[in-house]
Amino acid sequence: MNGTHEADRLSAYLEGELDGPRKAEVEAHLAGCPECASLFEAMRDTRDALASLPEIEPSPELLRRLYAIPERKRRFGLVRDFLLRPSLQPILAGATGLLVLISFLAFTPAGHTVQKGFNRQIHAGYGRIERLYVKAGAIPDRIGAGSENLLGSLRSVDILGKGGEN
């Protein structure tokens, strides 16, 4: 038997929870192992010292206050508990960073410069989009004239299978 297994059984031996053969094994080990014997003595002295302490009965006022703690926490801490939930902390950190960025843009001279540059880029993008819409509007006009020529050619060759009918 090694000391680690017997040290695990010392508490059960001290409390008298071991049966005959196991109890005899622990006693034999304690007789031959000074480390486990000193640990057992310390455990027994601690148990005896704790047993000699007087048992104190809490007052009814203390019991009432202790039982009221969960009710008070439930009643007043619902929002705080929700906001301090670990799963929300990354979201709250991101929101804080976003608020810092927005306040930088709104309240500093450098932020106003960034806003002006941003507005220029947006307006330049809108200008490009408007030019694309104008070009796209011209395409159907060009296709309209060419589509009649294409349909006439297809009818004359009878590819549409309608014998030249519309």
Cα dihedral 102, 104, 109, 115, rounded to 10, equals: -30
pLDDT score recorded for residue 6: 67
What is the chain's pLDDT, residue by residue, as a tens digit (166 residues)?
455 656 778 888 888 888 888 889 888 988 988 888 899 999 999 989 988 888 888 899 999 888 888 765 555 556 666 677 788 888 889 999 999 988 888 888 888 788 888 888 988 888 888 888 787 777 666 666 666 776 777 777 766 555 545 5
Handedness of CA 131, 134, 138, 140 (dihedral sign): positive
Cα dihedral 92, 96, 101, 105, rounded to 10, equals: 120
In 3D space, the residue among 14, 45, 17 whose CA is nearest the CA of residue 30 turns out to be: 14
Instruction: Please identify which residue in the block is written with the tokens 């979201």.
Output: 91
CB-count burial class (<10 Å; 0-12, 13-18, 19+) for 14 = middle
Task: Give pTM, 2 decimals.
Answer: 0.35
The answer to whether 1 and 26 are in contact (CB under 8 A) is no
